[in-house]
Amino acid sequence: MDGYDFAPSFSIWTTIEECLNPPVIWEAGRGWFTTPPFSEPETFEFPEGIGPVECVNVEHEEVLLIPRWVKANRVTFKYGLGDEFIEVLSVLHKLGLDRTAKVKVGGTEVSPRDVVAAVLPDPATLGERMHGKTCAGTWVKGTGVDGRPREVYLYHVVDNAWSMAEYGSQAVVWQTAINPVVALELLARGTWSGAGVLGPEAFDAVPFLDLLTEYGSPWGMREGG
């Protein structure tokens, strides 16, 4: 990130919630359970030139939703954060600067987390300072329809230069926003329908993936993880 030593590319409130809350894991026969933040580090080779990045467990809703509709033995969610990013968040936690409860400072009361958010740059203004690509995907290991072991990585990559040129939005924000937009279009068309609390895993994925491609941001799939 040009000009900043530490600048989250999305809300610091969301960053703290997702990264410092105990990550949730689901396992068949055990159900949901939590682990310490940044647990189970592993290096993953990301596609389209991104390369190897160490990823760690963080809290995210996919772990709560996927097992409700997809049969799986284990479900986790991981981010590639980097050692420096993890160190900063860990220090914030040690100092209590991640807390939301207000503390008295002089004659006023402030939330430590609000102070942290106020001194960091607005993620919406960082697009011109960002370079590279962001990748979100699902890595699945199991048994193929032929009965043999199979491993695939279904992913979506967004280049910051492209999203800034086409939409004026930085890659992380654009990749996050495009998913509910696509989902709303599918609901409006009647392609997706239902009642109750239904995650995207409850619906046919092909129309969603096709619409991503229509938006000029195609998905990819790599055999072998």
pTM for this predicted structure: 0.89
- The terminus-to-terminus CA distance of the chain in angstroms comes to 28
Give pLDDT, residue 5.
79
Residue stretches of the chain with pLDDT short of 70: 1-2, 225
| Domain ranges (residues) in the chain | 1-125, 130-225
Give pLDDT, residue 1.
57
Give pLDDT, residue 124.
79
Q: Give dist(CA 133, CA 52) in Å, integer.
A: 13
75, 67 Cβ separation under 8 angstroms: yes
Pick from 135, 141, 159: nearest CA to 220: 135
Q: Going by C-beta distance under 8 Å and a sequence separation of 6 or more, which residues neighbour residue 141? A: 149, 150, 151, 225
How many angstroms separate the most distant Cα atoms in the chain? 70
Q: Give dist(CA 138, CA 129) in Å, integer.
A: 28
Give pLDDT, residue 152.
96
In this structure, the number of other CB atoms found within 10 A of the CB of residue 192 comes to 19
1, 55 Cβ separation under 8 angstroms: no
Span 1-125: which CATH code? 3.30.360.10
